[in-house]
Chain A
Amino acid sequence: MAAMSLLQRASVTALAALSGRHPGTRLGFGGFLVRGFPKTAAPVRHSGNHGKRLFVIKPSGFYDKRFLSLLRFYILLTGIPVVIGITLINVFIGEAELAEIPEGYIPEHWEYYKHPISRWIARNFYECPEKHYEKTMAVLDIEAEKADLRLKELEVRALMRARGDGPWYQYPTVDKALISHSPKATPDN
């Protein structure tokens, strides 16, 4: 503050010295400035705890702070209930224990998982792997049969066309009974 006021006084005197013919000098203290310099120079007060209060010039942290605070908010909005839920499940329901499959018992497909949440997901959303296996085998079987039959059809077509003793490639011809075998007048009939 002392330095600032010194600077101001120095600048004013320099201005007055440099621009003696300038209209600014007649305007008095402050020159072209609208508000002018302060009329009184108050003694600078230094606080005992933090040192001198400074106006720190730094780039705006408003946008960064806002982004991080919003990020934290939206992550914790669902994060905290999820974490609380999982903790309660682990404490009160607990994981399954490993056991031998009893005689004559076929476990359901979700009973092969340990954690209760995995078991719930497998029970309600996933299909059992045996079903998937059988479905894949059914699809493979059908496709293999189709491929087989298509190849056979090609072979059969070729053979029937060549040999002519099958139901395909039979072309309708004129009825035999309509042919008259009687001798004709001219030879080219």
Chain B
Amino acid sequence: MPDNWDKDVYPEPPRRTPAPSPQTSLPNPITYLSKAFDLLVDRPVTLVRDFIDRQHAKNRFYYYHRQFRRVPDITECTEKDVLCMYEAEMQWQRDYKVDQEIVNIIQERMKACQQREGDSYQQNCAQELEQFTQVSKAYQDRYHDLGAHYSARKCLAKQKQRMLKERKAAKEAAAA
């Protein structure tokens, strides 16, 4: 992440260092400090890291990310089918984790934008703010307040309640 990140999502602000225009004829101490840092810290660390990388290159092995197949949802299971319900439940828990990470990523984008823009973040980061409010509202509607013993069935029940409320509100709006 520190070396290669998505430059479109987290853009770097343009550099504003001016060209050096020394007012005095005295030498700049920063050059000496940077050379000292380079000699005393950067070179030994790079040598050690190169040694370690050479040892790692001798025997490489890989790790993979798990791929899960999509299984029928809890809405597509018949009533007493425990196997279908178990698979749907596991899939729902994985989706819950994924949704949590999605909210984290959107939040991080908003935080990075605020850090970049400084005091003018409210107008320059409007897109990120809007995205974050939408995503967190959706997450709250779906997953908030399910309790400690949450499950796919309870989430489905919450969705049913929400749909009933929407239908009632729509009917009242149509009647009024």
Contacts and interface: CB of A to CB of B under 8 A. Distances in A.
Q: Indicate the size class of the contact surface on chain A.
A: 20 to 34
A111 B67 CA distance: 13
A91 to B, nearest CB: 5
Interface stretch (B79-87, B97-105, B145-153): B79-87
A23 B52 CA distance: 88
A52 B81 CA distance: 90
A97 B63 contact: yes
A94 interface: yes
B62 A140 contact: no
A136 B86 contact: yes
A64 interface: no
B63 to A, nearest CB: 4
A141 B24 CA distance: 85
Main secondary structure of the interface of A (DSSP, over half): helix
Contacts of A100: 64
Interface string A85-103: 0000001111011111100
Nearest to B52: A91
Interface residues of B, number: 18
B55 interface: yes
A99 B61 CA distance: 9
Contacts of B62: 96-99, 111
Given A140-B86, A141-B82, A99 B52 contact: no
A114 interface: yes
Contacts of A119: 63
A140 B55 CA distance: 48
A88 to B, nearest CB: 10
A92 B55 CA distance: 5
A137 B81 CA distance: 11
A175 interface: no
A112 B59 contact: no
Interface in B58-111: 59-67, 80, 82-83, 86-87, 90
Given A91-B55, A94-B52, A133-B90, A112 B82 contact: no
A98 to B, nearest CB: 6
8 contacts: A94-B52, A96-B63, A99-B62, A100-B64, A112-B63, A112-B66, A114-B63, A137-B86
- Interface pairs A-B: 10 shortest CB-CB: A94-B56, A96-B63, A99-B62, A144-B82, A140-B82, A101-B64, A92-B55, A114-B63, A107-B64, A96-B61
Interface of A: 91-94, 96-101, 107, 111-114, 119, 133, 136-137, 140-141, 143-144, 148
